[in-house]
Amino acid sequence: MAVTDIASPPEEIQEPSGLSSGWGRRLFIAIPYIWLLVFFLAPFVIVLKISLSDVILARPPYFPNFDISEGWQGFLAMLRVFDLENYVWLAEDSLYLNSYLSSLRIASISTLLTLAIGYPIAYAMAKAPKEWRATLLMLVILPFWTSFLIRVYAWIGILKKEGFLNYFLLWTGIIDEPLMILNTDTAIYIGIVYSYLPFMVLPLYAVLEKLNISLLEAATDLGCSPLKAFWVITLPLSLPGVWAGCFLVFIPAVGEFVIPDILGGSSTIMIGKTLWVEFFSNRDWPVASAVAILLLLMLTLPIILFQKQQEKQAEASQ
């Protein structure tokens, strides 16, 4: 009897009675899909459409501009004008490739730096006495209560030639000449690492905190050095947190505009800035849209990797 119970669970649990609850469930599941449709797919299609059009001097500054009142004929007429010349243009001018590569480089280096700084912080938080942890967690989150823009601006005051950092270093005698950090790539790295550090620390902390202490105790009992125990137990077990943190930092860092604009120098090209120039200086919305579409496609790769990683993790934990 018990065996059949397990093999075929009672009907009513499988199929909650009534049509209305079935619809209710479908509606519930539909919410995230509607969300994706409205806030992801629809904007994507609009941008894709603009990327296939041509520039004109009008408002809005591109053509064709599909008017729903023209119906199906208008839609077909619009399709006939579409072409890929904006994408061809992106391929022909090295500026765009260089911008993409430079963005990837800056995002990768920043992500590694954030990991290098974030891991010890998360580790220390997870190892801290239990009664401190909530406070430490609060300290990581606290900067979010101030506007992101103001925090980035504050770095100008710290990094500039007559800024706090130079005053401090000159005062301690570590340097004789003020360091030129502001308006360089170094300032961008500092800005990104500072701004995105919580995104690295939080997932790492979540994983490290749950780490089973008895595994480390067993390792010590069997004569394993603490350093080795870290390499063979803690680090591999915290990898999901490392992945999550890295993606959360890397993905927004690639498209970052504010930090390079405020802290970076004119010689740093990043895709966010290139896109700004297309949009504002050239008034070329179609090319700007093409740049955005390519950026999105480029970012889809790490996002898919992230997804795969999450699935693997989910399977492993089952």
Partner 1 sequence: MSSNFKSGLTSTIATAVIVAFAASVAQAKGTVNVYNWSDYIDDSVLKDFEAETGIKVNYDVFDSNEVLETKLLAGTTGYDIVVPSGSFLSRQIQAGVFQKLNKDALPNLRNMWSLVSDRTSIYDPDNAYSINYLWGTTGIGYNVEAAAKRLHGKPVDSWEIIFNPEILAKFQDCGIHMLDAPTELIPAALNYLGLNPDSHNTADIEKAAALLKTTRPYIQKFHSSEYINTLANGDICLAIGWSGDVFQARDRAAEADNGVTINYIIPKEGALMWFDQMAIPTDAANTREAHIFMNYIMRPDVIAKASNYVVYANGNKASQALLDQDVLEDPAVYPDEETMAKLYVTTPYAPKIQRTVTRAWTAMKSGQ
- What residues line the site for partner 1 (CB under 8 A)? 55, 57-61, 93-95, 98, 160-162, 183, 265-269, 274, 277, 279-284
Q: Which is nearer to partner 1, 118 or 264 (CB)?
A: 264
Shortest distance, position 229 Cβ to partner 1, whole Å: 48
Least distance between partner 1 and beta carbon 290 (Å)? 14
Min dist. Cβ of residue 124 to partner 1 (A): 38
Q: Which two tokens stand for residue 39?
A: 């806030």
> Residue 96 or residue 243: which is nearer to partner 1 going by CB?
96
CA distances from 91 to 85, 88, 95, 97, 98 (A): 10, 5, 9, 7, 11
Torsion of CA 87, 40, 256, 193, to 10 degrees: -140
CB nearer to partner 1: give 204 or 287: 287
Q: How far is the CB of 60 from partner 1 (least distance, A)?
A: 6
Compute the least distance from the CB of residue 161 to partner 1, in Å: 7
Closer to partner 1 by CB, 249 or 269: give it.
Answer: 269
> Distance of alpha carbon 28 from its chain centroid, rounded?
27
DSSP state of 65: -
CA distance 100 to 294: 9
Rounded distance between C-alpha atoms, residue 226 and residue 51, angstroms:
56
Using DSSP's 3-state secondary structure scheme, residue 308 falls into: helix
Residue 191: Cβ-neighbour burial (10 angstroms; 0-12, 13-18, 19+): buried
Q: Which of 164, 188, 215 is nearest to 111 (CA)?
A: 188
Q: In this complex, which beta carbon is closest to partner 1, that of residue 70 or of residue 93?
A: 93
Q: Which is nearer to partner 1, 184 or 313 (CB)?
A: 184
Work out how close the CB of 175 gets to partner 1 at its nearest, in angstroms, rounded to a whole number. Answer: 16
Residue 257 or 306 with smaller CB distance to partner 1 = 257
Q: Considering the complex, state which of residue 61 and residue 302 has its C-beta at the smaller distance from partner 1.
A: 61
Query: Which uninterrupted H or E stretch holds 54?
Result: strand 54-55
Q: Max CA-CA distance within the chain?
A: 86
CA atoms within 13 A on the CB side of 20: 0
Whole-angstrom distance, CA of residue 238 vs CA of residue 242: 6
Residues 11, 311: Cα–Cα separation, whole Å: 30
Q: Of the two residues 49 and 136, which places its CB atom closer to partner 1 in the complex? A: 49
> Whole-angstrom Cα distance, residue 177 to residue 200?
34
Q: How far is the CB of 181 from partner 1 (least distance, A)?
A: 13
Shortest separation between residue 209's beta carbon and partner 1, angstroms: 44
CB of 59 to partner 1, least distance (A): 5
Question: Would you give the distance in Å from CA 53 to the centre of its chain?
Answer: 29
